[in-house]
Chains A and B, each alone.
Chain A
Amino acid sequence: MTELIEIEGLTKRFGAFTAVDDVGFAVPRGQVLGFLGPNGAGKSTTMKMVAGFVTPTAGTARICGHDILKSPVAAKRVLGFLPEGAPTYPEMTVTAFLRFCAAIRRVGEAEVQRAMELTQLGEVRLQPIETLSKGFKRRVGLAQALLHDPPVLVLDEPTDGLDPNQKHEVRALIRGMAAEKAIVISTHILEEVDAICSRAIVIARGRIVADDTPAGLAARHASGKLDEVFRAITLPAPAEAA
């Protein structure tokens, strides 16, 4: 089985509003999937459902064959998840926070050290998280997701708030892990898709509107630019809007 993430007919309604509408795709080992879409398109809601935080109205997701609804704990064990905004406990030090996650995930001190090395947190390891800059906070969240070296990574805007150098580091880190993992990252930075993704799914108003390689996606517009394609497929057609 190479499909590490399988998503089937995932739907989420909030009252009359449908945030995610029948989204389905599969991600095999070795693929980095860029999950694109305008704000409010349903990216985060989809990722929260995959991570088992939001209960879908319909459909389900399987992570390494574990159904997120039927065996949530087994599915969460093989998943590394960076929630939107990288929430962490502000009063804890970086080390204490990662040790807490490590204890829950049944991994040891060696893994904590490895995760801090990967995300370059060594210099702030004894600082309370609330005193850190936005970039460091994001990296603490990333370290938590990488802690147990999971086969599946779901990262909601992993480079948001990082400076250009840090973005470069995180992208290199993701590229380095790509071969042995299935990775989904959400982003609205289109250059990032070009830089690290081997596949891009564009979502608008809760539905998948494009599923292609970054190059294939860029070729859809005469200019060959991703942002032109993005605008063309995510903005409502003028006739529809009228």
Chain B
Amino acid sequence: MRNVLIIAKRELAAYFATPVATVFIVIFLALQGALTFTLGNFFARGQADLQPFFTFIPWVFLLLVPAITMRLWAEERRLGTVELLLTLPVTQGQAVVGKWLAAWAFCGIALALTAPFWITVNLLGRPDNGVIAAGYLGALLVAGAFLAIGSALSAATKNQVIAFVLAVAVCFVFAVASSPIVTEFLNNNIPVLGDIARRISVTDRFQSFTRGVVGLRDLIYFASFIAFFLFLTTVIIDHRKAD
């Protein structure tokens, strides 16, 4: 565990040593703000909650999280530092979790900077802050899940553009799996898959968080989702690190 934290700390410092952190946070806040106020009708709805804010967050993450993860392993391999990192006395699992944890903490920081939304609704009305807290927890878990997908795809290629495009595509599949278009199509043609698609969808699980429901099943879903993709990353690193 100590090694995981040492690696995560170095990694997180690297985000802030380059313009990556600033650009990401500014774009995230601008995009999230614009969507919430315009498409989300934040004021016109006349309700003191963060529903419009949370509606858009998985879609913003879908676009921006792969931008963080594309360099996660691809960059280490390009610079050759993967050889340095994996010949230090750490296990591959510690390195994989450490790097993912840094990216997750970074998303946590970006989410924390959306606090003005929360302050605004509390000034304008009396929202249920429990629901808002659950929504933030859900958003953090969605980020963690997308980061784990991106981590695996970044490990699979040296090319950052490929890592980005593939990560967006795979995250998109998990985001739309429960949308009516997909499930209706599957129900009509392959009924077994329709049910599976609804169960593996990230957005469906996230929506119960935004309603203020923190279910044990959903927590287990996100934990196993993240664990699976991080395990996959370890396997891919083991096979492809020296290519």
Contact = CB atoms under 8 A, between A and B. Distances in A.
A40 B79 CA distance: 20
A104 B83 contact: no
Contacts of A83: 80, 83-84, 87
Interface residues of B, number: 22
Interface string A85-117: 101111110001000110111000000000000
B241 A104 contact: no
B17 interface: yes
Given A51-B87, A76-B87, A89 B14 contact: yes
Given A53-B87, A76-B89, A81-B87, A88 B6 contact: no
Contacts of B80: 83-85, 87
B242 A54 contact: yes
B89 A53 contact: no
Interface of B is mostly: helix
A90 B88 contact: no
A145 B7 CA distance: 18
Interface in B72-117: 79-81, 83-84, 86-91
Contacts of B84: 83, 87-88, 141, 144
Contacts of B187: none
Given A84-B80, A85-B80, A88-B84, 19 more contacts: A48-B242, A51-B87, A53-B86, A73-B90, A76-B88, A76-B89, A83-B80, A84-B83, A87-B83, A89-B81, A92-B14, A101-B88, A103-B6, A104-B6, A104-B7, A104-B88, A104-B90, A105-B88, A141-B84
Q: Nearest 4 CB-CB pairs, A to B?
A: A87-B80, A76-B89, A91-B17, A83-B83
17 contacts: A48-B83, A53-B241, A55-B242, A76-B88, A77-B89, A79-B87, A84-B80, A84-B83, A87-B84, A88-B81, A88-B84, A89-B14, A89-B81, A91-B18, A92-B10, A104-B88, A128-B17
